[in-house]
Structure 1
Amino acid sequence: MEVLVTGASGFIGGSTCAELLGRGHAVAALVRRTGSEPAGTRAVAGDLTDAPALAAALAGGRPDAVVHLAAEIGSQRNAAKLNEVNVEGTRRLLQACGEAGAPRFVFVSTSVKGDPRGAQIDEDSPGPVETAYGKSKAVGEELVAGSGLEYSIIRPGHVYGPAGWYVTELIGQLRKPGRFGVIGNGENWWDVVHVDDVASAIADAVEKAPNGGVYHVVDDEPISQRDFIALTAESLGMGAPRRTPVALAKLMIGGDPTAVVTRSARNSNARIKRELAWEPRYPTAREGVPAAVAEL
């Protein structure tokens, strides 16, 4: 089938395109400028902020499925920008898909909820949405569910790998003098997952997810913030990371990024394993982190 991927040139998008191509699918990459599309994909010009361009992109060749990965992540303090891209951009894309008759929509959200007590939760568990980014994605999920399109929703946890935030932010901070590492006591749970496993989950959703399916995509074993960062430092051949008080972290990087790091989330992957027969290539961070670091 032909799959249109938004955010194709991003961290998760590149791995997703490679996974889809490896399974024999044709991939069209929605990009703001041609030349930035992943190898092997067909570039389609378009922008989530430009409704006519999206309509033209979809009308130019109706895909069998659309994977919506593009999102604003870096503007945690800019609520207007988060809303424009993550909410209104999703609304525009859904409208364009509906008008073009695109038959299948896979929305890549995030593990929007956690549990401050550290309890394991599933896709239907109640709980607060603790970050501005998570709130924008939760609204996006509501738009998708109410769109009338056949859809599925993927909720990755903390996605790590040989690129993206893991390299530019976490490893970048660890390598700086003074090493801004663990925030707070570091005992909060992280639901982590390797980028290649997210890509395989997205491809599984494209191929066989039932209409309305919602899936956490995390590895088999949650890990504390402290242990994940320590494992990364060890894989880099570095010593134990420093700890930074929460109050100081809020002053240095802002309240919302600090909340992302210190929130506790232990999401279950039982549903996607049961319904889509998904299995992570890296079952835990103990396998995935050294593999990611080895690719740097």
Structure 2
Amino acid sequence: MKVFIAGATGVLGRRLVSQFAAHGHTAVGLTRDERGDTIVESRGGEPRRGDLFDEESVVHTAEGADVVIHAATAIPTDDPSPEDWELNNRVRREGAQVLTKAAADVGADQYLQQSIVWVARQPDGTAFDEDSARHPDDPSTQSAVDAEDISMEAGELYDFDVGILRCGYFYAPDAYHTRKHGEALIQGDQPIIGGSETAKISRVHVSDAASGFVAAAEGNLSGIWHVIDDEPVSMAEFSTALAERLDAPAPERISEAVARREMGDIQVDLLSSPMSTSNDKLQAETDWEPKYSTYKDGLDHVVEHWESE
């Protein structure tokens, strides 16, 4: 099977290249420069230069693909403003438009779209699943909803299978926000937001997110799945557990109002609002199961990796 991956040099995309290649598939990664070529090649993939916003370019690079995957993002960092999210919103929306058309043009059998579980987070904080109503609550969430709709409509129009993989909140040793989180804890500068002590959030180690895409592709499936681990965890519990593993000071608490001034509304809402769902559907329909079934297992791996560096 030939798999074309947009976003192949990102934290998820690198693992997609590695895991598809390890399963004996041809992993073709969309790249923009020599550095991207090196990343894809080092993971066992074939780099092809192109531009996500140029349909002709993407069709050329995706030629021969059986599966097309949209794993590209442009998540902003370091206290982003609403304007900083606009590129990520464009990557989701326009990227989905270009990639679904390319999938049709190259005759792909399946298109897989990365999304986020909190598009279906319920206003009252109750648990939810793949059939729950979506509630986009900010522009970044709305763009994920739009990308899902673009994908599903394209599947009906062009008659290929479409899979929407809604991932939990990512963490991994090489994920930017995880590294910043660990560094801040060591420096005693990673507070816990007031109100986040009881807000359970569904997370996933990025390696497990990638293996969910592999399972969906190898099963040639259509549908929506939540790709998360087995145990939602609050920000307070996650931060405390990571601090303990790093022998860092116990994180202090700050009020939600202070957090909003320092971190921005989008990040505070994400971390302080309940987001509890399950991976039951993905496990029932594929042979997937998370290697890091809880955040405890995943944080052990994260810290072991950092120590080995």
Q: TM-score, normalised by structure 2?
A: 0.89
Equivalences for residues 152-231 of structure 1 within 5 A: 152-176=163-187, 178-186=188-196, 187-211=198-222, 213-231=223-241
Matched, 1:281 2:291: yes
- Equivalent of residue 77 in structure 1, options 58, 71, 82: 82
Q: Please, which runs of 5 or more residues in structure 1 have no aligned partner?
A: none
Q: Which of 1 and 2 has higher RCO (CA within 8 Å, sep 6+)? A: 1
* Aligned equivalent of 1:130: 137
Q: State the shift of 1:209 in Å.
A: 4.4
- Equivalent of residue 41 in structure 1, options 38, 45, 48: 45
* Aligned equivalent of 1:67: 69
Q: State the shift of 1:172 in Å.
A: 3.0
Matched, 1:245 2:245: no
Q: State the shift of 1:136 in Å.
A: 0.8
SS at match of 2:154: coil
Quick check: 2:199–2:272 contact (8 Å CA) kept in 1?
A: yes
Distance 1:96 1:137 in 2: 19
Deviations 1:20-63 (A, max 9, x none): 111111111101113423211111111222233213222xx311
SS at match of 1:146: helix
Q: State the shift of 1:117 in Å.
A: 4.0
Distance 2:108 2:73 in 1: 20
Which residue identity does 1:63 align to in structure 2? A
Distance 2:82 2:180 in 1: 17
Deviations 1:224-283 (A, max 9, x none): 111011111111111311122211122112211222222210011110011113111111
Q: Which has the higher helix share?
A: 2
Of all paired residues, the percent bearing the same amino acid is: 29
* Aligned equivalent of 1:32: 32
SS at match of 1:223: coil
Quick check: 2:29–2:45 contact (8 Å CA) kept in 1?
A: yes
Deviations 1:105-155 (A, max 9, x none): 111111122235442211111252234322111100000000033211111
Which residue identity does 1:125 align to in structure 2? S
Q: TM-score, normalised by structure 1?
A: 0.93
Q: State the shift of 1:72 in Å.
A: 2.2
Worse overlay, 226-235 or 26-35: 26-35
- Equivalent of residue 97 in structure 1, options 100, 103, 118: 103
Quick check: 2:5–2:28 contact (8 Å CA) kept in 1?
A: yes
* Aligned equivalent of 1:15: 15
Distance 1:215 1:108 in 2: 10
Distance 2:134 2:93 in 1: 21
Distance 1:118 1:295 in 2: 34
Quick check: 2:185–2:249 contact (8 Å CA) kept in 1?
A: no
Distance 1:278 1:272 in 2: 7
Distance 1:12 1:76 in 2: 24
Q: Please, which runs of 5 or more residues in structure 2 have no aligned partner?
A: none
Q: Cα RMSD over matched residues?
A: 1.7
Matched, 1:113 2:117: no
Q: State the shift of 1:169 in Å.
A: 3.0
Q: State the shift of 1:15 in Å.
A: 1.5
Distance 1:127 1:210 in 2: 22
